[in-house]
Amino acid sequence: MNWKTFFALLGRDAHVARRNIIPVLLQTFLQPLMFVFIFGRVMVSSGYMPAAYKSLLLPGIMAISMVFTGVWAVAMPLIAEFQFTREIEDRLLAPMEISWLAVEKVFFGTMQALLAGLVVIPAAWLLLRPGVDLNLNSPLSFAAVTLLVALFSACGGLALGCSISQTHIGLMFSMVLTPMIFFGCTYYPWSALAHFPILQKIVLINPLVYASEGLRGTLVPQFPHLPVAAVLIVLTIFDALFLATGLRQFRRKAVS
Amino acid sequence: MLAGIRTRDLRKIYTSPPALASGGGFGFGPARSKGKKLPKPEIVALDGLSLEILPGEIFGLLGPNGAGKSTTAGILTTRVRPTAGQAWIGDLDVWKEQVAVKRLIGVVAQRPNLDFALTAREILLFHGAYFGIDSHQRAERADALLDRFKLRDRADQMVRGFSGGMMQRLSIARAMMHDPQVLFLDEPSAGLDPQTRLLLWEIIREYNQSGKTILLTTHNMEEADALCQRVAIIDHGRNIALGTPAELKASVPGGYLLRLRFGRHSPELLQRLQTLAGVTEVRANTDSQNNDLQNSSSADVYADRGGPLISEIANLASSANVELCDVHISEPSLENLFLHHTGRSLRE
């Protein structure tokens, strides 16, 4: 493995991200923070939502930010670089096995997703305070869940970015990401779906369910949530599945 | 280390539209048919191509669009998987030892593929970094190349706003950044103004003089003629002629080509043309649609002289009571050679 090349590629991505820091920040945080403000602050202080909703909402918002950031950070550049600008060709010719280029993208996307997730916590806490009741009982399981969520979003971005053509980007958002978010137990716990037993089973194929439930279980365990151990196992499986699919699709796109 | 290029019986059959690696257009997903499985359409891009390019040679692949030039370059640069056959850069099998091969080659694609998120200088610097060049040497080389390609004053601007010619120059500078032993140039001067083309040719010759092997694909015979030590003419994925430009031109009967169009078809006139001094071959063009549509007939005359023959041809035509409508004279050229071998023009 040629680490010099790998780090040079990471350096390139970091350089570009630094150059685009303002749009990247707006794109990552504007939507979740507006959501936090309206639902956590406006709706709660006007009495339409109970005060406890603030704490319930935060892990969901964190999951959305991470998944959106990871998917976006990996998928969008890949779609453009493979199809529109073809600028990935130069990096495919770097002296390194080409799958490592995909691994580099996943690594970078994971870092961005982690950053997004970790920034949302203090930002939301500031916006929502007082009354956010975080109980970080097991920092280790929180770290494990966060890492797996970040990895799943970046791997998902790789799989999507290498499977979707430029003309279908809009479709990717309306058909994949939006339903994922609404049926991803982000704004409500999974147990809230008990009145819709069939839907409650179906949403279990949505990886975002495990992301939000896992973060809920480790950040605000006082609310009902799926068992954290099960969440860790399922997220690991999703990570492996998306990574394998993504790498296969990537090779298919890179070599004709 | 000097490195040549070899291919043996390369075949490539595409079952989906060629992706970006082979210089195709915009990508689109494979059409999926549900239910009945239709056989995938097969496009034979290469049909048993064998080439041997010597170390330190400027070699040209000449052929019309779709002849298989870019696919050949794609296979040799690890971007296209050959359906059958083998390819080597130096002693390295291209498909099996991709990483080692990538260290030896520099590639300029047909369409600019510059990193739009970077400035011109950064493109060169990051490319150098991918190849593990240390930062001091990287900066030096980038400066030298920016100077050589006359890009110094735009070095710190984003390439988004560059003209086509500037992008092309920067692509070539980038390919030279890690000082590769073998340089691949796919249609390098397409869309360049004459002045830039001359600069480019000069740089290519200079690079070759330092012992580097250069494979050039082009459908511009003037370029092949000016730069290449040897040329292979490719059509339908096969090698149809190989040699130095001079040898190839000498192999065209007569060298000169006179394309004639007559008011009506007259076999006896064509026979009499054959008897003119210096005429080596006369071919009636039967496939041309013009023949029936415009009630005229055309013929290609290969001869060892051009202009001086015209008055004799005109005399023969008027004595046979056939109107001579159009005359086009081409001097000995690779274009004529291509026409001679395939019956088609390079530009068709």
**Interface contact flag, A167 B105, Cβ < 8 Å:** no
B86/chain A closest Cα distance in angstroms: 16
Q: Give percent above pLDDT 90 in chain A.
A: 43
Q: What is the pLDDT averaged over residues A16-21? A: 89
- Tell me the H-state helices in chain B: 69-76, 98-104, 120-130, 135-148, 164-176, 194-209, 221-227, 245-250, 267-274, 290-293, 308-319, 334-342
Q: What integer is the mean pLDDT of B302-330?
A: 82
* Range(s) within chain B of domains with CATH label 3.40.50.300: 5-15+44-249
Burial of A242 (0-12, 13-18, 19+ CB in 10 A): buried
Question: How far is the C-alpha of B266 from the C-alpha of B243, rounded, in Å?
Answer: 37
Asked if B27's CB is within 8 angstroms of A166's CB, the reply is yes
Per CATH, the architecture of B5-15+44-249 is what? 3-Layer(aba) Sandwich (3.40)
* pLDDT band per the 50, 70, 90 thresholds, residue B34: very low
Does B113 sit within 8 Å of A95, measured CB to CB? no
Provide the pLDDT for residue B328: 84
Per the prediction, chain B carries an average pLDDT of 83
Worst-scoring range by mean pLDDT, A83-97, A99-113, B320-334? Answer: B320-334
Task: Kindly list the residues from chain B whose CB atom is less than 8 angstroms away from the CB atom of residue A79.
Answer: none
Residue-wise pLDDT for B78-119, tens only, equals: 999 999 999 999 999 999 999 999 999 999 988 888 988 899
Contact A256 B109 (CB under 8 A): no
> Which tens digits make up the pLDDT trace of B213-248?
999 998 777 788 889 999 998 888 888 889 988 888
Helix axes A139-161, A53-79, angle to 10 degrees: 30
- Mean pLDDT, residues B192-209 taken together: 90
Q: Which residues does chain B have within 8 Å of residue A12's beta carbon, measured at their own beta carbons?
A: 115, 118, 126, 129
Instruction: Using CB atoms, pick whichever of B18, B102, B113 lies closest to residue A86.
Output: B113
Which of B22, B114, B122 is closest, CB to CB, to A87?
B114
pLDDT of residue B26: 37
Q: Is A83 near chain B, with CB under 8 Å?
A: yes
- State which residue of chain A sits closest to B95, comparing Cα positions: A255
CA distance B131 to B99: 11
Q: List own/partner pairs for A213-217 with CB under 8 A and 24 or more apart.
A: A213/A185, A213/A189, A214/A145, A214/A148, A214/A149, A215/A59, A215/A60, A215/A62, A215/A63, A215/A142, A215/A145, A215/A146, A215/A149, A216/A56, A216/A59, A216/A60, A216/A189, A217/A141, A217/A145
Look at residue B177 and tell me whether its pLDDT is greater than 60: yes
- B129 CB neighbours in chain A (<8 A) are 4, 8, 11-12
- Extract the tokens encoding B133: 């060049």
Edge-to-edge strand order for the sheet containing B256-262? Answer: B279-285, B297-303, B256-262, B324-330
The 10s digit of each residue's pLDDT in A207-231 is 999 999 999 999 998 888 889 999 9
CB neighbour class for B35 (10 Å; exposed up to 12, middle 13-18, buried from 19): exposed
Q: Does A11 sit within 8 Å of B98, measured CB to CB?
A: no
Class of residue B241 by CB neighbours under 10 A (exposed 0-12, middle 13-18, buried 19+): buried
- Mean pLDDT over each residue of chain A, to the nearest integer: 89
Chain B positions touching chain A (beta carbons under 8 Å): 14, 18-22, 26-29, 74, 77-81, 98-100, 102-103, 105, 107, 109, 111, 113-118, 122, 126-127, 129-132, 174
- Alpha-carbon span A87 to A70, nearest angstrom: 21
Report pTM: 0.82
The enclosing H or E element of A60 equals: helix A53-79
Residue A101: CA count within 13 A, CB half-sphere: 25
Distance between CA atoms of A16 and B58, rounded to whole angstroms?
A: 37
Q: What was the pLDDT predicted at B180?
A: 94
- The answer to whether the beta carbons of residues A196 and A188 sit under 8 Å apart is no
Where in chain B are all domains bearing CATH 3.30.70.260? Answer: 253-331
Mutate to test the interface with B, among A3, A87, A93 (most CBs of B within 10 A): A93
Q: Cβ of A15 and B129 within 8 Å?
A: no
Query: Per-domain residue ranges for chain A?
Result: 3-254
Band the pLDDT of B139: cuts 50, 70, 90: very high
What string of H, E and C letters represents the secondary structure of B16-82?
CCCCHHHCCCCCCCCCCCCCCCCCCCCEEEEEEEEEEECCCCEEEEECCCCCCHHHHHHHHCCCCCC
Interface of A with B in 162-191 (CB under 8 A): 165-168
Name the residue facing B111 among A86, A88, A94 (closest C-beta): A86
CB contact under 8 A, B80 and A92: no
Enumerate the residues of chain A whose CB falls inside 8 A of the CB of residue B130: 5, 8-9, 90-91, 94-96
Query: What pLDDT is stored for residue B291 in this prediction?
Result: 47
A23 touches chain B (CB under 8 A): no
Rg (CA), chain A: 19
Contact A91/B19, CB-based, under 8 Å?
no
Secondary structure of residue B217 in the 3-state scheme: strand
Cα atoms in the Cβ-side hemisphere of radius 13 Å centred on B59:
26
- pLDDT value at A247 more than 90: yes
Cross-chain Cβ contact B115/A94 below 8 Å: no
Helix (H), strand (E) at residue B301? strand B297-303
Q: Which residues of A53-90 are buried (b: 16+ CB within 10 A; e: fewer)?
A: bbbbbbbbbbbbbbbbbbbbbbbbbbbbbbbebbbbbb
Place of tokens 């982690």: A114
Please tell me the class of the B253-331 domain: alpha beta
Which residues of chain B lie closer than 8 angstroms to A9, CB-CB? 130
